[in-house]
C-alpha cells in the first residue's frame, strides 16, 4: 500500500462552517494530512479557533468570516482565496437546522433554510468551479443528510434543503466529469455535535440524558456518530484514492437508512 494514502499534500481546501462540529473535524483532518485549509464560518472567532489548532499541529490555515447565504460575501471571500492560488477541494458543510412540519414552518423559516442550506451551497460551488475547470480538476464534497432520502418527523424545511443538495450534487457531477471535477456528497444520520447538546438543553431541560439516549437509539448501531467519523470519510472522498468516485452519495448512518424497518 502506498505510504501516501489519504494524503492531501499540496492541495488547497475550503471548508465552510469550519468553526465547529463536522466542519471543524474535517478542517482538522485535512490540515493534518498536508492540505492548506481556508476555514470559512459566519462566526469568525470559531473559525479562528479551528485555524489555530491546525497551525499548532504544524499545518497551514487561513480564517475567513463568510456568510454563505450572501452571494457578494462569497464572491469576495473566494476572490481573496483564488488570488493566492487555486482551490483543489471545496467542502460545502455550512448549514442550519430547523424543527417543524408543513403547518408549523413559517415562510421566514423556510426562506432562511433555503438561503443557507441550498443557495449557500450553490454560491460556493459557482464561486469555485470555474477555477477548478481552468486547473483541470478538483473535488466538491457537499454535506447532505439521511433526511434527503427518507421521511423524518418535523424536519420539513430541513429535508427539503438536503434533498436539493443531493440533486445539485448529482447534476454538477454529470456536468463537470469531463473537466476532471468530482462531485460527491455525504449523508450523515445523527452526529453528536455541540448543536445536539444545545438543542436538548433548549427543548428538554432536565431531560437531556433521557432524550440523548432516545435519539441515539434511532440508529440501529445504538449510538450517534462522531464528527471525526464523518471527517474520516470526507478525507477519503477528497483524496486521490477516491479518484473513481463521483456523482454518488455516501450515507454514514449507523444503519439508519437500511436497518430501520
As a whole number of angstroms, the distance between CA 132 and CA 135 comes to 5
Which one of 3.30.43.10, 2.60.120.10, 3.40.50.720, 3.40.109.10 gives the CATH number of domain 12-189+227-250? 3.40.50.720
- List 158, 176, 204, 250, catalytic entry: 158
The model's pLDDT over 48-81, given as tens digits with 9 standing for 90+, comes to 999 999 999 999 999 999 999 999 999 999 999 9
The model's pLDDT over 160-186, given as tens digits with 9 standing for 90+, comes to 999 999 999 999 999 999 999 999 999
Instruction: Band the pLDDT of 4: cuts 50, 70, 90.
Output: low
- Please report, for the chain, the start and end positions of each structural domain, with discontinuous segments joined by +: 12-189+227-250, 191-224
Instruction: Band the pLDDT of 5: cuts 50, 70, 90.
Output: confident
Instruction: Return the percentage of the chain with pLDDT > 90, whole number.
Output: 94
Which DSSP category does 19 fall into? T
158 is catalytic: yes
Q: Strand pairing partners for 200?
A: none
pTM (two decimals): 0.96
Helix (H) or strand (E) holding 54: helix 44-56
Amino acid at each position: 500500500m502506498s505510504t501516501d494514502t489519504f494524503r492531501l499534500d499540496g492541495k488547497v481546501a475550503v471548508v465552510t462552517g469550519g468553526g465547529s462540529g463536522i466542519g471543524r473535524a474535517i478542517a482538522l483532518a485535512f490540515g493534518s494530512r498536508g492540505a492548506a485549509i481556508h476555514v470559512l464560518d459566519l462566526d469568525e472567532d470559531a473559525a479562528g479557533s479551528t485555524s489555530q489548532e491546525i497551525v499548532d499541529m504544524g499545518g497551514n490555515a487561513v480564517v475567513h468570516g463568510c456568510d454563505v447565504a450572501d452571494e457578494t460575501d462569497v464572491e469576495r471571500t473566494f476572490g481573496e482565496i483564488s488570488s493566492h492560488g487555486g482551490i483543489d477541494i471545496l467542502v460545502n458543510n455550512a448549514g442550519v437546522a430547523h424543527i417543524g412540519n408543513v403547518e408549523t414552518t413559517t415562510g421566514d423559516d423556510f426562506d432562511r433554510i433555503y438561503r443557507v442550506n441550498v443557495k449557500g451551497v450553490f454560491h460556493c460551488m459557482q464561486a469555485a468551479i470555474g477555477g477548478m475547470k481552468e486547473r483541470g480538476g478538483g473535488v466538491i464534497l457537499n454535506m447532505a443528510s439521511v433526511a434527503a432520502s427518507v421521511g423524518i418527523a418535523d424536519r420539513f424545511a430541513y429535508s427539503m434543503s438536503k434533498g436539493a443538495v443531493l440533486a445539485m450534487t448529482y447534476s454538477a457531477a454529470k456536468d463537470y466529469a469531463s473537466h476532471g471535477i468530482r462531485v460527491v456528497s455525504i449523508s450523515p444520520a445523527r452526529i453528536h455535535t455541540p448543536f445536539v447538546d444545545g438543542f436538548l438543553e433548549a427543548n428538554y431541560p432536565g431531560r437531556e440524558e433521557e432524550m440523548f439516549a432516545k435519539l441515539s437509539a434511532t440508529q440501529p448501531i445504538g449510538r450517534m456518530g462522531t464528527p471525526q467519523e464523518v471527517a474520516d470519510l470526507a478525507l477519503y472522498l477528497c483524496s486521490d484514492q477516491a479518484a473513481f468516485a463521483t456523482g454518488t452519495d455516501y450515507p454514514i448512518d449507523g444503519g439508519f437508512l437500511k436497518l430501520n424497518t
